[in-house]
Amino acid sequence: MHNLPSAKATEWMATLADYTADPSDKRFTEVLRALHDEPNVLVVFNHPLWDLYLIGKEKHEFLVGEFLVKNGNYLHALELNGLRNWDENRAVRRLAEKWNMLLISGGDRHGVEPNANINLSNATSFTEFVHEIRREKKSDTLFMPQYAQPWKHRILQSTLDAIRHYPEFPQGSRTWDERVYHPDASGVVRPLSELWPKGTPPLGISWLLGMVQLMGAAPVSGGLRRAWSEERQLRMALGE
């Protein structure tokens, strides 16, 4: 959900919090319908074909179809995700064709890599961009050259970015465990760096992170990049 009206921000956050506390399919559709009625709001179905909870491709696609039957009229675009793989984004394109929906760029950013796909627009504000999508039904998406790099290698690089030490960051956010939060025994959300029993990450976690860092070091990184080559997927995508 993008571009919620600032004058109704408190009202909308209360509505969303109420839904989170007591979710239901019927209430969800009501919320989407109300968002759709806001003329400057953009509602995007993010990475619709990512089976995040591993329920199986067939069941996931069935549930996506069921969801679109109920709520498709209140969604303004499906996302092409710059950090998902070729096959999934191609399948999303076919899904958009099936449901006569627009495609829009999205990066799912969790690292420092620039977005791998962007929307091209003549809009001078986000509200104008929303009108291009909703009223003009126009969306021009550009995939950047980095998307042609092996997907698994890009995921590795994003992981390395997440666990890297950043001495130039403000104090309290320089190490990875200062940037990751978890409830303590009392339910208070605190940085992991404050929760370690001995003041440092457990040996097993440190070992795992060390292995990831090794994968990102030369020459291991170069070998993995060649092993994860996606030339075939690239040719198929360009052929379509």
pTM over 0.75: yes
Q: Closest Cα partner for 88 from 147, 142, 47?
A: 47
Q: What are the pLDDT digits (tens) for 3-56? A: 999 999 999 999 999 999 999 999 999 999 999 999 999 999 999 999 999 999
Q: What are the pLDDT digits (tens) for 141-186? A: 999 998 988 989 988 998 999 999 999 999 999 999 999 999 999 9
Q: Closest Cα partner for 215 from 156, 132, 145?
A: 156
| CA atoms 28, 34, 37, 43: torsion sign | negative
Alpha-carbon distance of 199 to 193, in angstroms, equals 7
Query: Dihedral of the CA atoms 111, 130, 141, 118 (nearest 10)?
Result: -30
Please spell the DSSP secondary structure of 174-190, one letter per residue. Answer: SSHHHH-EEE-TTS-EE
